[in-house]
Structure 1
Amino acid sequence: MIYPNDHRPAHVHVIGGGCEAVFKLRCPDGPPELRENFGFTRKDLSEFSAALTKALGKLCDEWEHLHDDF
């Protein structure tokens, strides 16, 4: 989730199952970096990090579209 009224630096919220993690995207080149975690396992976080790395270009484009810069 990228919130349209959120603050910089570019980041995403991963939410589910009563848990939340926030990853800094480190646009435009990555790699994403875990900023905080509330309840996800290390395995979950590793999988999220891999998925975010694959989608980094699209996520950075979306952040820039919503916020004008990183």
Structure 2
Amino acid sequence: MPTVLSISGLRVVIYPNDHRPAHVHVMGKGCEAVFNLHCPKGPPELRENYGFSAKDLGKIVDALIAHLAALCRDWRGIHGNY
């Protein structure tokens, strides 16, 4: 599972054998969240949350927005079309 981005010690992962739509898994601190990216223009949208606080989720979304183009490019490189 390739880590495509790190956010303050959290790993942003795209699984090679995963499914559409384009999304990332964010893991760390014993928590995990899944965000649909809505490539290519966003915005990322929380799909599942297992333990992150609202404050953490806000910081994660801000970082995903800042790196959206690269994340969509990474998804496409691994899976093809969004």
Interval containing the TM-score (normalised by the shorter chain): over 0.9
Opposite residue 58 of structure 2, the aligned amino acid is: S
1:63 to 29, 50, 75: 75
Which structure: greater strand fraction? 2
Instruction: Give, in whole Å, the separation in 1 of the partners of 2:29 and 2:59.
Output: 15
**Normalised TM-score (structure 1):** 0.98
Q: Which runs of 5+ in 2 are unaligned?
A: 1-12
Opposite residue 24 of structure 2, the aligned amino acid is: V
2:46 to 34, 39, 49: 34
**Normalised TM-score (structure 2):** 0.84
Identity %: 61
> What do you get for the CA RMSD once the two structures are aligned?
0.4
Runs of 4+ that moved beyond 2 A: none
Aligned positions of 1:6-45 closer than 5 A: 6-45=18-57
Greater relative contact order (CA < 8 Å, ≥ 6 in sequence): 1
Deviation at 1:15, TM superposition (A): 0.4
